[in-house]
């Protein structure tokens, strides 16, 4: 049986974080199962772009500090790494992201080494988006990475979560949770259930399920830690695109989904003309001067939406009538 530890943690306070993480790892068998003195350990953080730790778009720097300090105390050499998305003139902004999130300070103060190359370095990510233009095929690439990188342990910083238009344009939701597991799929299944989402509804996880990267059946996952059953996150806002990402197995449902489908669109009032979206678009669908998107070319990878640090790439209903109906439903035309 797979095990997922769910701890309650309400703030990024170093000693409290270390206690919760150490207790959780003990429940997974203890640190000795994963690391030994002298090991070189890479903390693969989530550093999507130059965002502050309080934005909930990146792993919080104090969370990184807590894990780094535990590992240093165990005699390990600690590396902190990722490769941020987006690019200007062919250079990914990872070093800038390290500074913005406060990791540079953590690395200096904790004696850890920063590593600006993630599992998929630099601009190769855009190429993979082009090769795998839908969630199912992109899920195959993620499954490849998991099978080849052989991550030992997965720790999710869910103290500040992002709700709504993640991974960068949503709002902070204090979920107050830390999740830990050796099984990446079981961890995702538990996290999704907290949001009220079933794993079968998430097309990007299809390949991980089929290749048995981990456990996907809730009844075969033991929940341990501060919770013995999966807690629910009340009123958590899912992304607008979530409905259109559901598995399409019903003709009527397909028509309804298509009617309410969303598409990226640049809001010129918010746009700062940085051109990150233009240079990161894997199929070059965004016009550099006008920022208009060519929807005949767009593969809906949402990189532009995810990588715009100014929340200027918004998701609009493709169908005008659907847009009005949605707004009416939210009471915006009253
Ligand atoms: S939409 Fe965002 S990423 Fe694109 S040019 Fe404008 S500010 Fe930059
Ligand atoms: S326009 Fe945006 S969503 Fe469309 S392919 Fe380019 S980056 Fe992806």
- DSSP result, 150-209: ----EEEEEEEEEESSTTTSSEEEEEEEEEEES-HHHHHHHHHHHTT--GGG-GGGHHHH
pLDDT of residue 272: 97
Question: pLDDT of 3-29, one tens digit each?
Answer: 999 999 999 999 999 999 999 999 999
How many CA atoms, within 13 angstroms, populate the side-chain half-sphere of residue 76?
A: 22
Helices (H), the chain: 14-27, 61-73, 94-101, 103-110, 124-131, 135-149, 184-194, 206-210, 242-245, 251-259, 276-280, 303-307, 320-329
- CA 283 to ligand 2 centroid distance, Å: 7
Domain ranges, ordered by start, for the chain? 2-225, 242-329
- CA 47 to ligand 2 centroid distance, Å: 20
Question: pLDDT of 178-236, one tens digit each?
Answer: 999 999 999 999 999 999 999 988 988 999 999 999 999 999 999 999 999 999 999 99
- CA 291 to ligand 1 centroid distance, Å: 8
302 lines ligand 2 (CB under 6 A): yes
pLDDT of residue 284: 93
Residue 308 contacts residue 331 (beta carbons within 8 Å): no
Residues lining ligand 1, judged by CB closer than 6 Å? 266, 271-277, 291, 308, 310, 312-313
d(CA 160, CA 173): 6
- CA 299 to ligand 2 centroid distance, Å: 6
Residue 6 contacts residue 28 (beta carbons within 8 Å): no
Structure tokens that stand for 157 in this block: 């910083």
Residue 301 Cα: closest atom of ligand 2 = 8
Nearest CA to ligand 2 atom 4: 298
For residue 273, give the ligand nearest its CA. Answer: 1
For a substitution probing ligand 2, which of 304, 308, 318 has the most ligand atoms within 8 Å of its CB?
304
Residue 264: name the closest of 296, 293, 242 by CA.
293
The top-level CATH class assigned to 242-329 is: alpha beta
Residue 20 contacts residue 63 (beta carbons within 8 Å): no
Q: What is the CA radius of gyration of the chain?
A: 20
pLDDT of residue 118: 62
For residue 295, give the ligand nearest its CA. Answer: 2
pLDDT of residue 166: 86
pLDDT of residue 256: 58
pLDDT of residue 321: 64
Structure tokens that stand for 307 in this block: 């990588």
Nearest CA to ligand 1 atom 6: 271
**From first to last of its 334 residues, what are the pLDDT tens digits of the chain?**
999 999 999 999 999 999 999 999 999 999 999 999 999 999 999 998 899 999 999 999 999 999 999 999 999 999 998 888 876 666 778 888 999 999 999 999 998 887 766 666 666 777 788 888 888 888 998 898 888 888 899 999 999 999 998 888 899 999 999 999 999 999 999 999 999 999 988 988 999 999 999 999 999 999 999 999 999 999 999 988 776 455 555 555 555 555 556 789 999 999 999 999 998 898 999 999 999 999 999 988 888 998 899 999 998 866 666 666 666 665 544 3
Helices (H) and strands (E) in the chain, counts: 13, 9
Long-range contacts of 53-57, Cβ-Cβ distance < 8 Å, separation of 24 or more: 53/12, 53/101, 53/102, 54/160, 54/172, 55/162, 55/168, 55/172, 56/160, 56/161, 56/162, 56/170, 56/172, 56/173, 57/162, 57/166, 57/167, 57/168
Using CA atoms, how far residue 304 sits from 164, 169, 278, 301, in Å, is 16, 11, 8, 8
- CA 129 to ligand 2 centroid distance, Å: 10
Nearest CA to ligand 2 atom 7: 281
Residue 304 Cα: closest atom of ligand 1 = 3
Nearest CA to ligand 1 atom 2: 308
For a substitution probing ligand 2, which of 267, 302, 308 has the most ligand atoms within 8 Å of its CB?
302
- CA 15 to ligand 1 centroid distance, Å: 39
């Amino acid at each position: 049986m797979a095990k997922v530890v769910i701890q309650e943690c309400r703030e990024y306070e170093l000693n409290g974080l270390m206690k919760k993480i150490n207790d959780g790892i003990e429940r997974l068998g203890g640190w000795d199962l994963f690391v030994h003195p002298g090991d070189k350990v890479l903390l693969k953080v989530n550093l999507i772009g130059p965002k502050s730790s309080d934005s909930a778009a990146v792993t919080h720097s104090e969370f990184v500090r807590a894990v780094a300090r535990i590992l240093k105390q165990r005699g390990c050499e600690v590396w902190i790494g990722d490769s941020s998305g987006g690019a200007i003139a062919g250079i990914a902004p990872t070093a800038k992201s390290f500074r913005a999130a406060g990791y540079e300070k953590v690395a200096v103060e904790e004696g850890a080494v920063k590593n600006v190359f993630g599992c998929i370095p630099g601009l190769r990510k855009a190429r993979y988006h082009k090769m795998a233009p839908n969630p199912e095929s992109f899920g195959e690439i993620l499954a490849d990475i998991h099978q080849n990188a052989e991550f030992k342990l997965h720790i999710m910083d869910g103290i500040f979560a992002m709700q709504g238009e993640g991974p960068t344009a949503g709002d902070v939701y204090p979920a107050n949770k830390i999740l830990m597991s050796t099984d990446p799929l079981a961890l995702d299944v538990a996290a999704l259930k907290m949001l009220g989402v079933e794993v079968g509804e998430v097309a990007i996880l299809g390949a991980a399920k089929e290749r048995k990267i981990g456990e996907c059946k809730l009844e075969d996952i033991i929940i341990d830690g501060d919770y013995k059953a999966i807690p629910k996150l009340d009123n958590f806002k899912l992304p607008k695109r979530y409905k259109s990402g559901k598995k399409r197995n019903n003709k009527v449902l397909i028509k309804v989904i298509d009617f309410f489908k969303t598409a990226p669109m640049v809001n010129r009032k918010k746009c700062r003309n940085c051109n990150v979206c233009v240079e990161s678009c894997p199929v070059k669908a965004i016009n550099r001067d006008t920022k208009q998107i060519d929807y005949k070319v767009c593969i809906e990878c949402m990189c532009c939406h995810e990588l715009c640090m100014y929340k200027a790439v918004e998701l609009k209903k493709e169908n005008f009538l659907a847009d009005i109906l949605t707004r009416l439903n939210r009471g915006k035309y009253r």
